[in-house]
Structures are given as C-alpha cells and as structure tokens.
Amino acid sequence: MLPGNQKIVTIPASDAESTSGRLLVVQASSNRGVAASRDGDLIEFPFRRRSGRPLPGDHITLDTAGALDRIAPRENVFGRGDPRGRLKPIAANLDQVIIVIAPEPAPSRDLLHRYLAAALIQGIQSLIVLNKCDLELPQHPPFNELDELQGLGYEIIRTSCSKETALATLPARLIGRTSLLAGQSGVGKSSLLNALIPDLGVQTGALSRVTGKGTHTTTSAILHRLAAGGWVVDTPGVWEYGLWRMPTTELQRGFPEFADHAENCRFRNCSHRHEPGCAVRAAAENGDLPAFRHQAWLRLLAEQERLG
C-alpha cells in the first residue's frame, strides 16, 4: 500500500531494478517530483525545502502523507555552473556521463573538455559518443583531437541515427548502469534516446499522465528505464556548458593525465601555467602530453579566476 493520495500510473517493471523498497526519483520540479517504485508505479510526491531538493537518480522514502521524507546519501552529483559560479545539480548517483558531440552543429572549442572535467571531478566515468559519424568530420577541435584523447584512455563510440541507425557498442555500455546523456542542442540526443529505448513514448506518456503536463521538448532532467536493465537521464540540450567555482586542486581532478607529471613539478601548488620547473608544461611542450589538453587547462583555469 502506497502512502497518501498521490496520483499513480503503472508502467512495466524491470527485473533488473532493485531499490531495497525505496523509490527512485524520475523527475523533480520546483516543489513536486515523480518517483518509480520497484513494481513499476510512477508516484507523484510533494517536497518541502527542509526535506532537501531531490534529483533524478535519488533514492527516497515518503512519509505517511505521501510527501518526501528522506533522500538517501548520494554517491555523486552531476551538474553545471550557474551565472553566479555555483554548482547547479542536475542528477545524482550516476555510473557514467555520455557526452554526445556531432560534426553538425559543431561544439565550441572547450565544450567537450568542460564536460569531461565535470564528470571526472565528481568521480563519474565519462564516455564520448561521436554521433552523425556518417558526416565528414571537420578538421578542427575537438574532432582532430579525438585520436589523442582515445590514446589517453578516453573511450569514444561512433554512432549514427540518420539513414540507418548504427549504435555500435553503446547499448551494451548502458545495461545495468545509470547514465546521463549530455550534449548541445541538435547533436541527436533525442534520436539516440529513441533508438536506445523503443518504449520511450510509453514512458513519457505515463509521466505526462502523472504530472498532468503534456509531452514536449525536454526542459528538465528525466530518468528513463532501459528494457535490459539500467536507466538513462535525458537532459535539455544546451549551447554552452560552464563549470562552477572550485579550488585549483579540484579542477586538476578533471585532467587525470597530468597527475604523473605533476608529481615532478618543482612547486607543490604548481598551477602548470608559468612556474619554473613545471613538469606538466614541459610534458606538453615535448609531446608527452597533448598540447591541446594543457591549453584547455589554461583556459579553464583563467575561467575559474574570472568566477573569482
């Protein structure tokens, strides 16, 4: 028996789900959210400021009135910087961030590096998906940097949803995991999501019936269930993505390939910018590190100083 008098819609449950009796947040707005039960029910619930703001991916319990009672401790949070340089959380408890880029529209110079850094800083695995791979790749960043990124250990999967859907190994990478799809508007995230989740229309329709709102372009993060087990967080498309204000030591976690070289820097708090004896800068100059990664680091470091 579910507490309270929430609006409830039943959707097909997955044997792969296991939330230990807790509910899994699917979507949250200003003061109301929708959660999924292990039996496949979608349950709308209210929450108050003192209870905390739930995020898609959160595990929660409700009180006897059907309102949010408790948010379980989070393993991680993924988000973006707001105009004041604060972290604005988007989703929680992720296994990986799927960063979707495409030749058209081509991303800005540092969009991919920002997404990679944001995931790594939070301890979340990242996966780059090059969609629309049937199109000719531009000979400029980040496309002419992908081979070197792969050499550093960043995984890249090439997909296409134009004439004939080609998802390569992407579906297998999602099974049993909670993944977040990130990328700018127009790169084909919606097409990928429809190819990965054949019953997406059924799920969004059920969510619409619970919230009383029509189905439309994604304006907030929404969790969708994979038939084979696992969840995908769909996020609104963006034209630019910014990091939040953080210490330099935190930003460095977004560039793990620097670590071995940084141990040999003359100064312990080296910014890898102008200090004498900087081993990271030397590695970028002699080719032991891709120069474009060091240059991206310098631009993000300057951005942090502007955030102040």
The least confident of 49-53, 99-103, 193-197, 232-236 is 49-53
Element (DSSP H or E) covering residue 27? strand 23-28
**Long-range contacts of range 48-55, CB-CB < 8 Å, 24 or more positions apart?**
53/28, 53/89, 54/25, 54/28, 55/25, 55/28, 55/89, 55/90, 55/91, 55/92, 55/221
Q: Say if residue 6's pLDDT is above 70.
A: no
Q: Say if residue 9's pLDDT is above 90.
A: no
CA distance 120 to 38: 30
The pLDDT of residue 17? 37
Q: Say if residue 12's pLDDT is above 50.
A: no
The pLDDT of residue 8? 53
- Helix H, strand E, coil C: the string for 79-91 is EEECCCCCEEEEE
Q: Determine the topology of domain 248-307 in CATH.
A: Ribonucleotide Reductase Protein R1; domain 1 (1.10.40)
148 burial via Cβ count (<10 Å: 0-12, 13-18, 19+): middle
Superfamily of domain 77-234: P-loop containing nucleotide triphosphate hydrolases (3.40.50.300)
Q: Say if residue 45's pLDDT is above 90.
A: yes
Query: Residue 148 corresponds to which tokens in the numbers above?
Result: 């070197």
Q: Say if residue 152's pLDDT is above 70.
A: yes
CA distance 187 to 182: 10
pLDDT band at 10 (very low <50, low <70, confident <90, very high): very low
Where are the domains positioned within the chain? 8-71, 77-234, 248-307
Q: Say if residue 136's pLDDT is above 80.
A: yes
CA distance 265 to 193: 44
Q: Say if residue 143's pLDDT is above 60.
A: yes
Q: Is the pTM of this model over 0.85?
A: yes
Q: Say if residue 234's pLDDT is above 70.
A: yes
pLDDT band at 274 (very low <50, low <70, confident <90, very high): very high
Domain 8-71: CATH architecture, name and number where available: Beta Barrel (2.40)
Interhelix angle 111-121/291-307, rounded to 10 degrees, is: 80
**Rounded percentage of the chain residues whose pLDDT exceeds 90:** 79
CA distance 281 to 290: 10
235 burial via Cβ count (<10 Å: 0-12, 13-18, 19+): buried
Residues 6+ apart with CB under 8 A from 254: 116, 117, 118, 120, 121, 300
The pLDDT of residue 91? 97
Element (DSSP H or E) covering residue 172? helix 170-174
The pLDDT of residue 40? 81
**Rounded percentage of the chain residues whose pLDDT exceeds 70:** 91
pLDDT digits (tens, 9 = 90+) for 62-110: 998 999 999 999 999 999 999 999 999 999 999 999 999 999 999 999 9
Residues counted in the chain: 308
